[in-house]
Amino acid sequence: GQQLNQSPQSMFIQEGEDVSMNCTSSSIFNTWLWYKQDPGEGPVLLIALYKAGELTSNGRLTAQFGITRKDSFLNISASIPSDVGIYFCAGTQGFGNEKLTFGTGTRLTIIP
Amino acid sequence: ETGVTQSPTHLIKTRGQQVTLRCSSQSGHNTVSWYQQALGQGPQFIFQYYREEENGRGNFPPRFSGLQFPNYSSELNVNALELDDSALYLCASSLFGRGNGYGYTFGSGTRLTVV
């Protein structure tokens, strides 16, 4: 099945550093979402974006919905140990209860 | 308010066998979606159930089937298991009409290993 292209695949950073990851698609999406998944758990929603060009923040997290509707990025500022995990972007192409198409994931590791 | 619960948490089956996975939706939710997450990959949409009927299906063969019950809980059935079916199976519940992904709540998943 289709998966969105997410980069980088993995990141190794020190605590306090800022993080940036992005997600691209060959198809247009009308909603972009960013999830975090911890080991042994399901994905948890971090930020939802509904409008092209929209920039939304949730605490130290900021995400943007690309103007072309084919990309999105997520920034995390001043990383802390609990930021460790796998981050997934996801998109839906319609409105209402549409299926989520997920990215391939970015694994974030914080080096002590 | 209870979240999404899935059972069992882990399962080992032999190739060719059949398996049933269960999901209880979050209180107030009436729609259930199932996703397959292979190791190192993002989740892939299998299907969604609303009003006890399939309401959208991903690129999965007919041996993947489901049910939704009047209390909105759901089952995922997989027949003739193959080694590639080994994955984490995630259930997500939502309230129909308030989707766009924002209203989804995921369970912790069932880890299925086919040997």
Residue B57 corresponds to which tokens in the numbers above? 């299906």
Any A CB within 8 A of B58 CB: yes
Average pLDDT, chain B: 92
Rounded CA separation A59/B86 (Å): 37
Cross-chain Cβ contact B101/A100 below 8 Å: yes
Residue A59 corresponds to which tokens in the numbers above? 């605490």
**Average pLDDT, integer, range A61-84:** 96
Percent of chain A with pLDDT over 90: 83
pLDDT of A84 higher than 90: yes
Nearest residue of chain B to residue A41 (CA atoms): B108
DSSP 3-state assignment of A100? coil
Q: How confident is the model at residue B14 (pLDDT cuts 50, 70, 90)?
A: very high
The pLDDT of residue A95 is: 61
Any B CB within 8 A of A99 CB: yes
Q: How far is A85 from chain B (nearest CA, A)?
A: 12
**Average pLDDT, integer, range A12-32:** 95
Nearest residue of chain B to residue A99 (CA atoms): B45
pLDDT of B100 higher than 90: no
Greater model confidence, A3 or B47: B47
**Average pLDDT, integer, range A22-47:** 93
Q: How far is A51 from chain B (nearest CA, A)?
A: 12
The pLDDT of residue B99 is: 53
Nearest residue of chain B to residue A97 (CA atoms): B99
Greater model confidence, A50 or B111: B111
Cross-chain Cβ contact A100/B104 below 8 Å: yes
Q: Got the DSSP string for A10-76?
A: EEEEETT--EEEEEE-SS--SEEEEEEE-TTS--EEEEEE-STT-EEEETTEEEEE-TTSSEEEEEE
CA dihedral sign of residues B97, B53, B91, A35:
negative
**Average pLDDT, integer, range A80-101:** 86
Cross-chain Cβ contact B101/A105 below 8 Å: no
Neighbours of B85 (CB within 10 A): 20
Percent of chain A with pLDDT over 70: 96
Q: Which of A1, A42, A95 comes nearest B90 by C-beta?
A: A42
Strands B87-94 and B74-78, how do they pair?
Answer: unpaired
The pLDDT of residue A4 is: 92
3-state SS, one letter per residue, for chain B: CCCCEEECCEEEECCCCCEEEEEECCCCCCEEEEEEECCCCCCEEEEEEECCEEEEECCCCCCEEEEECCCCCEEEEECCCCHHHCEEEEEEEECCCCCCCCCCEECCCEEEEEC
DSSP 3-state assignment of A88? strand
Strands A10-14 and A106-111, how do they pair?
Answer: parallel
Q: How confident is the model at residue A112 (pLDDT cuts 50, 70, 90)?
A: confident
Does residue B37 contact residue B91 with C-beta atoms inside 8 Å?
no
DSSP state of A3: -
The pLDDT of residue A96 is: 55
Does residue B18 contact residue B80 with C-beta atoms inside 8 Å?
yes
Any B CB within 8 A of A72 CB: no
Q: Which residue is listed with tokens 């299925």?
A: B112
A1 contacts in chain B (CB < 8 Å): 44-45, 58-59
A41 contacts in chain B (CB < 8 Å): 108-109
Any B CB within 8 A of A33 CB: yes
